[in-house]
Amino acid sequence: MNEPITQIKDTTGNPAPLGLLGFGMTTVLLNLHNAGFYELNSMILAMGICYGGAAQIIAGIMEWKKGNTFATTAFCFLWFVLVVARGIDRLAETGMASPSNDTAMAAYLAMWGLFTAVMFIGALRLNRALQIVFRNSHNTILSPRHR
């Protein structure tokens, strides 16, 4: 009747550095493009999809496994905002969709701005690094250079 209870200890590493590094490097390169240092090119897209994206999705899934919903949402969001932002331009360039007008882009950026503001507020209970990530994400999304 009294069977022993087996407890499994989580011995996986902390996925946050992987996700934050993927986000950070990709964001710096994207912001250098936004500042006019070079055109949007395959390097930025590959970093966003293959390194930044893959690292963040993997980190998000690892955080989900650890039961950390905030970090799961944060890492998966950080990848999707980069992919969607580039997808908006690429869909119009390839003729798969008409270009977004200013009203549509304002609504799109307002939603991401609201999301990053909420995540920043949630990060106030956590560590300073997450606060900086979401404050900078919020500022970047609302910057006038975004279009």
Average pLDDT score over residue span 86-96: 85
Dist CA 50 CA 131 (whole Å): 25
What pTM was estimated for this model as a whole? 0.67
**Other Cβ atoms closer than 10 A to 137:** 23
Residue 23 has pLDDT above 50, yes or no: yes
Mean pLDDT within 103-114:
85
Sequence-distant (6+) residues with CB within 8 A of 61 are 72
Confidence of residue 146 (pLDDT cuts 50, 70, 90): very low
Give tens-digit pLDDT for 45-55: 788 778 877 88
- Residues 110-119 as b/e (b if ≥16 CB within 10 A, e otherwise) read eebbebbbeb
